[in-house]
Structure 1
Amino acid sequence: MKRYLIASLCLLLLAACTRTQYPLSKPQQAFYQSMSSLCGKSFSGKVIFPADGKDPFAGAPLTMIVQTCSDTVLRIPFWVGEDKSRTWVISKTAEGLQLKHDHRHEDGTPDEVTMYGGIASTASTEQEQRFPADAYTAELLPAAATNEWTLALSPDGRTFSYILKRDNQLRFRADFDLTKPLE
């Protein structure tokens, strides 16, 4: 119940953020604008790492949909086959660009493990934003306290990558082909 209340509070705060303008660093603003330019489009992807086929996502079609875009929030559903429970939420906040993972059940209620993520580090660039796990994530998922998520656009603009590291070790990478939007 406590996690549900915290997740609900996070969603309320996210909604409040959509009404407030927060200045971002130049690299964060450029990245946000690049992602916003994809609004309304869907892209297919594939698991790059681990390449051994043992990842639960291996072999399943991956789809990202840059679905909801405002001046302060991007919502990007991430589908794994028929599983439509995940949405990446990129928000402008007072601390900088934020990534949260919104997990939902089929009926729309929040999963017990939801809204984890972090604030972009200052080491981020116009093409690559790195999000170390925040305190909420560390409390919710102690094993994920050292997580770092990276959202990256290739320099040629052809690929979007979602990358997860834990303890500075690559755990997951999916690449999405931005040259062929899905119908």
Structure 2
Amino acid sequence: MKTTLPAANLLAIAVLLAACGGQSTPRPEADLSSQLGLPEPLPPPALDDATQATAPVDAFLASLSRYCGQAFAGRVRVDEPASADNAFAGKALVMHVRGCGERELRIPFHVGDDHSRTWVLTRTASGLRLKHDHRHEDGSPDPVTMYGGDSRDAGTAQRQAFPVDADSVAMFQREGLSASVTNTWAMEVGPGPVFVYELSRPGGRLFQVEFDLSRPVPLPPAPWGSEP
């Protein structure tokens, strides 16, 4: 015996089927949180432009800071055009990552028995600053000292360049060192266990000293003007 459903019941079933047909089936790749009714996860924090721009600077300093307290021997890799009175020829070249502060590295550069030079790298609000601290044997400053410049862009974690700044240009002009007013210095860490110090000028001058970071050498004396 057949049972006939009332017309009202048939209408209700039709409406229910229509409603179900309008629902989309969850995609297999849909986010699990949304399927479970949980709040959407927050996206990773975005770096602002300033942070992105200076990140390579911090990576560069971190790479160099790994060698704090160690000294390394170097050699002249490039000297173009070669000068007859090259102060580095035939001399033992040693860099010493000696002063390691949170925002500053001091790296004496010894040339034979000349302990007058120290590279000073300082983290600034916008990048990195390189200065050359030159002293006499009695510790007094040389007339040409604390020259250098600031990095003008982020550079890379491997290489940072420092065009000469206005104060250094004025010093060079005062001391009759006109060739130096177009200096750009650069430093590189890597690839591999290598550190490179570089001086270049638009006229074709290029000077590079390369240090082998894989083989520490005995520590040199304290640079002139520094505590032992």
TM-score of the alignment, normalized to the shorter chain, above 0.5: yes
Tell me the residue number matched to 1:178: 213
Tell me the residue number matched to 1:163: 198
Which is strand-richer, 1 or 2? 1
SS in structure 2 of the partner of residue 50 of structure 1: strand
In 2, the alpha carbon distance for the partners of 1:78 and 1:42 equals 10
SS in structure 2 of the partner of residue 35 of structure 1: helix
Aligned in 2, Cα 1:90/1:168: closer, same or farther, shift over 3 Å?
Answer: farther
Runs of 4+ aligned structure 1 residues displaced above 3 Å come to: 51-54
1:93 has 2:120 as partner: no
Aligned in 2, Cα 1:28/1:123: closer, same or farther, shift over 3 Å?
Answer: closer
Structure exhibiting the larger radius of gyration computed from Cα positions: 2
Give runs of aligned pairs for residues 23-102 of structure 1, distance below 5 A. 25-50=54-79, 54=84, 55-102=86-133
User: Shift of residue 162 of structure 1?
Assistant: 0.4
Contact 2:127 2:154 (C-alpha < 8 Å) held by counterparts: no
In 2, the alpha carbon distance for the partners of 1:121 and 1:36 equals 22
Tell me the residue number matched to 1:122: 153
- Residue identity opposite 2:191 in structure 1: P
Aligned in 2, Cα 1:70/1:120: closer, same or farther, shift over 3 Å?
Answer: same
SS in structure 1 of the partner of residue 137 of structure 2: coil
Tell me the residue number matched to 1:4: none
Aligned in 2, Cα 1:53/1:59: closer, same or farther, shift over 3 Å?
Answer: farther
SS in structure 2 of the partner of residue 32 of structure 1: helix
Aligned in 2, Cα 1:27/1:123: closer, same or farther, shift over 3 Å?
Answer: closer
User: Shift of residue 95 of structure 1?
Assistant: 3.6
SS in structure 1 of the partner of residue 155 of structure 2: coil
In 2, the alpha carbon distance for the partners of 1:30 and 1:151 equals 13
- How large is the RMSD of aligned CA atoms in angstroms? 1.7
In 1, the alpha carbon distance for the partners of 2:204 and 2:156 equals 20
SS in structure 2 of the partner of residue 25 of structure 1: helix
Task: Deviation per CA, 1:65-103: give whole Å up to 9, x if none.
Answer: 000101111000000000000000000123420000000
Aligned length: 160
Contact 2:161 2:184 (C-alpha < 8 Å) held by counterparts: yes
TM-score normalised by L of structure 1: 0.82
Taking every aligned residue pair, what percent have the same amino acid on both sides? 46
Contact 1:121 1:129 (C-alpha < 8 Å) held by counterparts: no
TM-score normalised by L of structure 2: 0.66
